[in-house]
Structure 1
Amino acid sequence: MNGFAWGAFAANLGWSALAAFAVMGVTFAVAVRKGLHRIVDVAWGLAFTAVALATLVASAGEGDDTRRYLVTALTAVWGVRLAVHIGRRGRGHGEDPRYEKMLAKAPGNPNLYALRMVYLLQGALVWLVSLPVQAAAYVSGPLGWVAVAGIVVWAVGLFFEAVGDAQLARFKADPAHRGRVMDRGLWSWTRHPNYFGDFCVWWGLYLFTCDALPAAAVSLVSPVVMSLLLTRGSGQRLLERHMADRPGYAEYVQRTSGFFPLPPGWGRKRERG
């Protein structure tokens, strides 16, 4: 089992918090100026990238360099891709209905309410969920087989997320598909390929900490929290509630796995069995 630099990691927690909240603070200022709070969704991936870069700098001379640079690169690829995708998807649109509804009911100043309930909250979540990225940088010794497995799990996650997003974008770009449910490609294997992809990405990054028991223990909360957010929080549950009344969605739910990918039509085949 490899070593873990507890003291240096503890100091890094402060630097990572500063990076996360700096991104959210700048985003808040831009959002207020533009009158458009939906851009905070773009900042989500960029904040993780900022934490990874801050950790890379702060961990110089600590941990294994291969692990440090690899975890930073994997986090940045995921974060920047997500930010670019969300930015392109929202280009030319007005405020996100979620934020519009929330701010319409905000007590007092809507912008200050958004700062507390959206930006600061997301900054705190970025800091918490990124614990594996931070902890991995302070693990000494070469990559073990568990970390190599982490690369594979991360790659599966990025594939599902990126390909799923691209397939959905092409589907929605066709006017003939307006009002229809996307049930093709990866979306025929799982109702949420992008959320499943996020799930794999963060469990994959967590595996980089498992070469040192202290690092694995201190950062386990992160993939657990992300998994709960994706399946029980603002991810799957909220989206399915929004989609419930769409024509054809109930039938789609019956034949398609809710989260983990399974062969198309698995639900109906199971019922016939």
Structure 2
Amino acid sequence: MSKTESMVRIGIAYVLAFGAAGAWLAWGPRTSHLWLDGLIADLIATLVVFAASRSHRNSSFYDAYWSVLPPLLMIAWWSEIGTHGDRTRAWLVLGVIVFWAVRLTGNWIYAFPGLPHEDWRYPLLRARGGRAEVVVDLMAIHVIPTLQVFAGMLPVYVVLTDTRRGIGWLDIVAVVVGVGAVVLEFAADLQMYRFAARRRPGQAMDRGLWSWSRHPNYFGEFVFWVALGLFGLAAAPRDWWWVFLGAICMYAMFQGASIPMMEQRSLERRPGYRDVIDRVPRFVPRPPREQRQPAA
């Protein structure tokens, strides 16, 4: 199947998914909380994408959902809430989210070779589930990431629903942090693509940003969600105790699942990666340690 046909199929699945979510928001029964209505619609769209994944036997149908959903969810909430009050902060948030979404979705489009390619982690996860592989596919690959992204979007809901505080210095910090995170991810991915195009078999990446962090792209992604938390904090300082919950969920996922799987794969495929682990920080960028000299 060509990449073009693959993208068309995935695009149709997303149109159906967000159409179903929109239909629920427009005509479905409402709860007493708009955020909960958004969560239900989000899960409905996820189930449609899951159905497409199962019908094609390829869970990479879900990959772009991570970056496509946030701006649409914010717009859906905003359309329900209305434009009353000062919306400067909301426009700043939307601008940062769209910048992030365009960059991440564009990166996925560029890197995705088309069906039947599937992210190598998904078959491993399903295999671990044994007879319950369909449950693992649904929950671990589709629903749990959806819940994580939704948690990361809750500060945006606060920004839209609490307009009592005007724009301030913390909003500017949030913009700088958010844009900086996206630029960091873009630079890290670009460096990796250039390295991959000319690397020797088994060679490990330890150049540029990748010499300061073994996973600068994941660090940038985490910092983006921190930026949304900062916007939520600027809108409602009293909610300091929970507005970073989404960022914490992202950190836990990267440290507990994504990074360990990537590290193990690199150790198996790249003999020199052990040396990279010894020299280069795991997550937060900092100057690398000096390379150990062999004993005389």
The two structures share one fold, judged by TM-score above 0.5: yes
Q: Which residue of 1 aligns with 2:20?
A: none
What is the aligned length? 258
Which residue does 1:4 correspond to in 2? none
How far off its partner does 1:117 sit?
3.3
C-alpha separation in 1, matches of 2:87 and 2:273: 48
From 258, 261, 265, give the equivalent of 2:285. 261
Partner of 2:33, secondary structure, is helix
- Structure 2: stretches of 5+ with no match in the other structure: 1-31
Task: Say whether 1:190 aligns with 2:233.
Answer: no
Code of the aligned partner of 2:275: E
Structure with higher RCO (Cα < 8 A, 6+ apart): 1
Contact 1:49-1:76 at 8 Å conserved across structures: yes
1:181 to partner: Cα distance: 0.8
Runs of 4+ in 1 over 3 A off after TM superposition: 61-64, 104-113, 214-218
How is 1:75-224 mapped onto 2 (pairs within 5 angstroms)?
Answer: 75-92=97-114, 94-108=117-131, 110-111=133-134, 113-140=136-163, 141-174=165-198, 176-211=199-234, 212-224=236-248
The whole-number CA distance in structure 2 between the counterparts of 1:44 and 1:248 is 32
Cα distance per residue 1:168-194 (max 9 Å; x no partner): 1122123x4332111112111211110
Q: Where does 1:16-55 land on structure 2 (aligned, <5 Å)?
A: 16-55=38-77
Q: How far apart in 1 are the matches of 2:284 and 2:33?
A: 37
Tell me the CA shift for residue 235 of structure 1: 2.6
1:80–1:19: structure 2 CA closer, same or farther, 3 Å change rule?
Answer: farther
Query: Identity of paired residues, percent?
Result: 28
Indicate the residue corresponding to 1:6 in structure 2: none
- Given that 2:202 and 2:272 are in contact with CA atoms closer than 8 Å, whether structure 1 keeps it comes out as no
Deviation at 1:110, TM superposition (A): 4.4
* Alignment partner of 1:248 is 2:272: yes
**Which residue of the partner structure matches residue 260 of structure 2?**
237
The match for 1:226 is 250
- Structure 1 range deviating more: 156-165 or 221-230: 221-230
Q: Which of 248-257 and 16-25 deviates more? A: 16-25
Distance 1:65 1:190 in 2: 37
**Local SS of the residue matching 2:184:** helix
Superposed CA deviations along residues 72-106 of structure 1, whole A, max 9, x for unmatched, are: 22123212322332243232352323221232354
Distance in 1 between residues matched to 2:128 and 2:244, nearest whole Å: 36
Structure 1 residues without counterparts, runs of 5 or longer? 1-9
Tell me the TM-score normalised to structure 1 length: 0.84
- Per the normalisation by structure 2, the TM-score is 0.78
Give the superposition deviation at 1:149. 0.5
SS at match of 1:91: coil
Q: Quick one: structure 1 residues 251 and 270, their matched pair in 2 at CA, closer, same or farther if it must change by over 3 Å? A: closer
Letter in 1 for 2:187: V
